[in-house]
Amino acid sequence: MKNVIGALLIFAACGLYAQYPGSDALSSLTQTHAYVQKRTSSYDRSGGNADAIHIGAGKTATIFDETGPGEITHLWFTIASSENYHLKKIVLRAYWDAETTPSVETPIGDFFGLGLGTYFNYQSALLSVAPDKALNSFFPMPFAHHARITISNEGSEDIDSFYYNIDYRFYSRPMPDGTLYFHAQYRQQIPTADWIAPVRANDDPAVLAQKNLDGKDNYTWMEARGQGHFVGVTMSVLQNQDGWWGEGDDMFFVDGAPLPSLQGTGSEDYFQGAWDFGSSPFAYATFGAPQKGDEVIGSRSSVYRFHLDSPIPFTKSFRATIEHGHANQRMDNYYSVAY
């Protein structure tokens, strides 16, 4: 089965709108700010301590519905649900201004880098999962007139308690010209190659003899039309065969280029590790492999890379891809969110 949902992810920070967390945070503390700080949360409106909402199976809750101009700077969620893999069954959607289709549409776990439906803790500049089961995002999300965020419970059991805090800035002046909107594109491919293909190791001579110059059959993280820039990706892999799931080059196609505009040297290299990610998980500000499985069937790995040093710009179109094994010879399950 191969499924794809979602929308492209683009964001910009310019003028009075925040850059990525920590960029100028200390120096800005001595400056005046042209915004009013606001928050929308699930606090108990009666003054009690029932500070969460209940979301029934098959139901959708609107957790943010505010006018602008403004900018969301932080999302915090935590979920009490007894349903197995509820992180894959709860869908996060965000709509900017008068959109009828969402700019963000992804399982809530995948959005926070938990693409295999279970929790683990890690910290990065833009996303983090803190003990215990606290989901945090620091992506800036500007909106000119209106923003709406919904949570849909597409599981078979009720969400007993969904807690949230959404911090945002309200501005008294319009957004600067050229401000781009935040998008997140979710994709999955299960598996990444046809099951009738022979299962071969990366060092099999038949595999090594294969060539891939144009990205044919690569796993696609994101496709977009228009102008914007690629910020990064989180990806999770469930292995369907033994061996190293990597040995896949990242390939980016900018503005309709038929051959890669940028190309890397391997999966662990793109995610800023080396040699099959070594012997233990790791998580840094802009890259990491906070979940690292062994090289056997059933292993689970989750990785991320944020291009905060230099987002990849495009003016007409963009396609971000990666091989699944050298020349796309492997047949694992891939799940990803591109930002």
Domain ranges of the chain: 25-171, 190-338
Q: Which two tokens stand for residue 44?
A: 């108990």
Total Cβ atoms within 10 A of residue 62 = 11
- Looking at residue 23, its pLDDT comes to 52
User: What CATH architecture does domain 25-171 belong to?
Assistant: Sandwich (2.60)
Distance CA 233, CA 220 (A): 11
Whole-number Å distance between alpha carbons of 174 and 38: 17
Alpha-helix runs per DSSP H in 197-306: 205-208, 267-270
Residue type, 318: F
> Residue type for 319, please?
R
SS3 at position 181: coil
Which of these, 171, 5, 150, 153, lies nearest to 83 by C-alpha position?
A: 153
Whether the Cβ atoms of residue 139 and residue 128 lie closer than 8 Å to each other:
no
Which position has the token pair 């803790």? 121
pLDDT score recorded for residue 316: 97
Instruction: Name the architecture of domain 190-338.
Output: Sandwich (2.60)
Fold match flag (25-171 vs 190-338): yes
Give one DSSP letter per residue of 237-290, joined into a string: EE-SSSS-S----EEEEETT-SS-SEE-S-HHHHTT--TTTTTS-EE-SSEEEE
CB contact set of 154 (below 8 Å; sequence gap of 6+): 58, 89, 90, 91
Q: What is the pLDDT of residue 7?
A: 39
In eight-state DSSP terms, residue 34 is: S
pLDDT of residue 14: 34
Distances (CA, A) of 287 to 64, 302, 331: 29, 11, 25
Determine if the peptide bond prior to 205 is cis (ω within 30°): no
pTM score of the predicted model: 0.90
What phi and psi, each to the nearest 5 degrees, are found at residue 319?
-140, 120
Q: What local confidence, expressed as pLDDT, does residue 203 receive?
A: 77
Q: Which residues of the chain have pLDDT under 70?
A: 1-24, 196
Residue whose tokens read 């935040």: 182
Is it true that the peptide bond before 132 is cis, omega within 30 degrees of 0?
yes
Q: What pLDDT is stored for residue 201 in this prediction? A: 76
